[in-house]
Amino acid sequence: MQITARSILSFTLCVAFAMAAISVPLTNAATPRERKFQFEYSASVKDLPAGAKHVDLWIPVPHDSAFQRITDLKIESPYPYQVNNAEYGNTVLHIGLDNPSSSAFKVTVRFSAIRKEHIQERLQQQSASATKDGRDPDMSRWLQPDRLVPIDGKVKKWAQEVVNTAGAKTDLEKVRAVYNHVVATVKYDKSGEGWAVAISIMPATPGEAIAPISMRS
């Protein structure tokens, strides 16, 4: 029997910001700024039922990119694990247990990250036209709705209200307005029903996120 058991997983995200934006004066507006962070997050699997035949746990793992450098990656796990490449260039830690002997276990991931500002000067121009140069090959996918990321009329209406209130004109101003609004008003709340399904409308408790886990018995 296949059972999806998100409710037995508390995925605690403890983020310690190690350093604010580097305080180096910019001599050029196009010089990307950097920020340094230290992250620690834990996935706690609890209340596995007796007789469970197999348990799978997947946890996202950060990796280097053009705008990010990861160092000091440490993974603490009571069981062997694999770190695999996933779709869209993502990296995922996987633990597969046959006949688990314990009803609970915990996996912790720690790392340092340096994030580089992604500057697109054309976005600051009100008359900027669309360009296909260097376009992300998966862009059409990112612009589509998702089961957990709806783009229906309600979400569009909220976004437009935020943009209008901020008086945003350029694409960059609009994105910043929406970002600032989300940071200021959205919080994670895992109470109630449906939080694991409608995550974009009803996110989780402060400091908690969701990792997928499946169980067979």
* Mean pLDDT (the chain, rounded): 74
Domain-embedded: residue 129: no
Residue 32 has pLDDT above 50, yes or no: yes
Please give the residue range of the domain that contains residue 203.
2-119+138-216
Distance in angstroms (rounded) separating the CA atoms of residues 68 and 76: 23
Q: Which positions ≥6 away from 99 have C-beta within 8 Å?
A: 52, 53, 54
Q: Which band of pLDDT confidence, cut at 50, 70 and 90, is reported for residue 68?
A: very high
Domain-embedded: residue 133: no
Domain-embedded: residue 130: no
Q: What single DSSP character describes residue 193?
A: S
Distance in angstroms (rounded) separating the CA atoms of residues 7 and 202: 15
Domain-embedded: residue 207: yes
Q: What is the pLDDT of residue 13?
A: 34
Q: Which positions ≥6 away from 105 have C-beta within 8 Å?
A: 44, 45, 78, 79
Residue 3 has pLDDT above 60, yes or no: no
Domain-embedded: residue 162: yes
The tokens for 194 are 């449906």
Q: What is the pLDDT of residue 140?
A: 87
Q: What is the pLDDT of residue 214?
A: 46
Domain-embedded: residue 126: no
Q: Which positions ≥6 away from 30 have C-beta within 8 Å?
A: 119, 121
Distance in angstroms (rounded) separating the CA atoms of residues 214 and 180: 35
Domain-embedded: residue 132: no
pTM beyond 0.85: no
Q: What is the pLDDT of residue 131?
A: 58
15 or 66, which is more confident: 66
C-alpha dihedral sign at 91, 144, 66, 179: negative
Give per-residue pLDDT as tens, 145-203. Answer: 777 777 778 888 889 999 999 999 988 899 999 999 988 988 766 665 555 544 444 44
Lowest-confidence range among 47-51, 96-100, 150-154? 150-154
Q: What single DSSP character describes residue 100?
A: -
Average pLDDT rounded to a whole number, residues 41-70: 91
Domain-embedded: residue 42: yes
How many structural domains comprise the chain?
A: 1
Distance in angstroms (rounded) separating the CA atoms of residues 155 and 148: 12
